[in-house]
Structure 1
Amino acid sequence: MNGTTLYERPAASASWRIALPHSAAAVPVARALVRTALAELEHGADSDTAELLTAELVANAVEHTAGDAPIELVVELLPSGCQVEVHDPDPAPPGNLTRPAAAEPDPWQEHGRGLLLIRALSSSCGHRPTESGKAVWFRLPTVPPQRRPV
């Protein structure tokens, strides 16, 4: 090599925070925000995986929390990757997020795979209490661009 760096990410970070309706309509809005954030900054996290996992978190928040209080999406882009959080008003932790369920999901059921996907596809995930409920989060690392012949 001649000392030229082939891969370099900017050191800057960016974040977005948006209130979403407590309805199924929140899912495509959340996916679009994550896709746009990663594309506009040419961020190196896997956009498809980020969208999928965001959709799972938002859908879980809508389905498993009572009331009509908005949920909140927080997207943070860092040089090392991205972190997505979904805040909801229910303080109860999500079941089986950080540990596998006792039984495998029933392949014939529509539900039961979201937390499994988040555990399997993220570099880390978890939840924490907030003043108004909880935040459930996942992280994805940056992925270096594929090498291209010169």
Structure 2
Amino acid sequence: MHEPPSPASWRIALPHTTAAVPVARALVRTALTDIESSADTDTAELLTAELVANAVEHTAGQDPIELVIELLPTGCQVEVHDSNPLPPGDLTDPTAGEPDPWQEHGRGLLLIRTLSSSCGHRATESGKAVWFTLPGTHRH
């Protein structure tokens, strides 16, 4: 029995359009199944959709958005790369105040902060990567 390469990962370029959001959701579900991650796929789908929607909305131009899904020993990490170097709002700043739940904007990053085990962003050569990690759950 051979060991799979570690960490298992998927890297997919998505079009710079809102159509990328449902595609990203499906890809995350498929990838987590493929790499046998024990992370919660529903949560991963939801948070990935938020990150991709933010990247499409807040990045000018038509540069593709890249989705990276990695298997971690303790769960999974999902990154969304875009060409805008500006950091994503209040992703890592809980003191920014709670968004109004009736407002359309501002809830996505709160969701990511609340539902992920950790999240953040980093600069890349072509812009930035925004990421979150999810813990694995024990399957019965």
TM over 0.5: yes
Q: Is the CA contact (8 Å cut-off) linking 2:76 and 2:136 kept in structure 1?
A: yes
Q: What's the % identity of the aligned pairs?
A: 78
1:39 Cα deviation after fit: 2.0
1:119 aligns with 2:113: yes
1:103 Cα deviation after fit: 2.9
Q: Is the CA contact (8 Å cut-off) linking 1:11 and 1:79 kept in structure 2?
A: no
CA distance in 1, matches of 2:6, 2:123: 28
CA distance in 1, matches of 2:5, 2:65: 30
Q: Deviations over 1:71-104 (max 9, x none)?
A: 1000001231100000000000111111125332
From the two aligned structures, give the one with the greater helix fraction: 2
Against the structure 1 CA distance between its residues 101 and 112, is the aligned structure 2 distance closer, same or farther, given a 3 Å change threshold? farther
The within-5 A match list for 1:1-150 is 12-146=6-140
Name the amino acid aligned to 1:142. G
1:42 Cα deviation after fit: 3.4
CA distance in 2, matches of 1:89, 1:41: 27
Against the structure 1 CA distance between its residues 139 and 68, is the aligned structure 2 distance closer, same or farther, given a 3 Å change threshold? same
Residues paired across the two proteins, number: 137
Q: Is the CA contact (8 Å cut-off) linking 1:11 and 1:78 kept in structure 2?
A: no
| Structure 1 vs Structure 2 CA RMSD | 1.6
Q: Is the CA contact (8 Å cut-off) linking 2:40 and 2:137 kept in structure 1?
A: yes
**Larger-Rg structure:** 1
CA distance in 2, matches of 1:42, 1:134: 27
Q: How does the TM-score come out when normalised to structure 2?
A: 0.91
User: Structure 2, unaligned stretches of length 5 or more?
Assistant: none
Name the amino acid aligned to 1:75. I
Q: How does the TM-score come out when normalised to structure 1?
A: 0.85
CA distance in 1, matches of 2:92, 2:31: 26
